[in-house]
Amino acid sequence: MVIYSVPALQTNYFWLVQPRPEQSQAYIFDPGDAEPVMRALKEHDLTLAGIIITHHHWDHTDGIAPLLKRFSVPVYGPRSERIPTVTHFLGDGDQLDLRHWSLEVMTTAGHTLDHLAYLYRDARGKHHLFSGDTIFGAGCGRRFEGSPEAFYQSLQKLAALPPGTLIYASHEYTVDNIRFALAVEPGNAALQARFVRTQQLRAEGHPTLPTRLEWELATNPFLRCRQPEVRRAAEKQAGRSLSSEVEVFDVLRTWKDDF
């Protein structure tokens, strides 16, 4: 399988997946703009076989209709009146069987109520997670819908995947996320090293994604709510004791909103 990042809008990545290198069919995740997708298809000599959606926000869906004018393909995604172009509705635990590959569908409510993530296990046993806006490099999405507990449990579901899982998130936010993470956990040596490495990647024009789950477990404060330094930072920010990891997560997410 070949996975191409398609930079678009200001910070988005649309992920273009070619399941078999010897064949020209490809699938696009979360096309918020059709033009970058068309350019990528032409550059790599590919034909669009399907569109896969994680949630309803415009920067993940606005390119669907223009692409459907060019390609008669299925659109897979959550059942939502806000994505009327979806032709095949998916939910938690579904198996999306496509030509030459199969995706496990996971509900990851929190950023939005309808949010889905997609997990692919390749022939070598490696895991690839297309996470939309649930988890980013060193961060997570804003909580627009649902409860802090639902979002925290979604992240815990992802954290339970194998540490080597590659995470294809939808935004290039890693540098800013690490700056916040360092405010939360300044003594984290892995985080300090990641900041240096990430800044160098961006200075050289390279993406910071995909990330690896093991890096997130070591540096992402939203996956580290049980760590004493993270809890102390959240309690200092809140000005009170916090009784649960969900409360720590909620304080961190609100803090990050205004950081």
- Report the chain's mean pLDDT, rounded to a whole number: 97
For residues 254 and 187, give the distance between their C-alpha atoms in angstroms, rounded to a whole number: 22
| CATH 3.60.15.10 holds for 2-257 | yes
Domain boundary assignment for the chain: 2-257
The strands making up 95-98's β-sheet, listed across from edge to edge, are 95-98, 101-107, 116-121, 127-132, 166-169, 211-212
pTM of the model: 0.96
Q: Would you say the C-alpha torsion 185, 127, 210, 11 has a positive or negative sign?
A: negative
Query: How many C-beta atoms surround the C-beta of residue 179 within 10 A?
Result: 12
Kindly report, residue by residue over 172-198, the tens digit of the pLDDT: 999 999 999 999 999 999 999 999 999
Kindly report, residue by residue over 112-158, the tens digit of the pLDDT: 999 999 999 998 999 999 999 999 999 999 999 989 999 999 999 99
State which H helix or E strand residue 135 sits in: strand 135-136
For residues 210 and 208, give the distance between their C-alpha atoms in angstroms, rounded to a whole number: 6
At 195, is the secondary structure helix, strand, or coil? Answer: helix
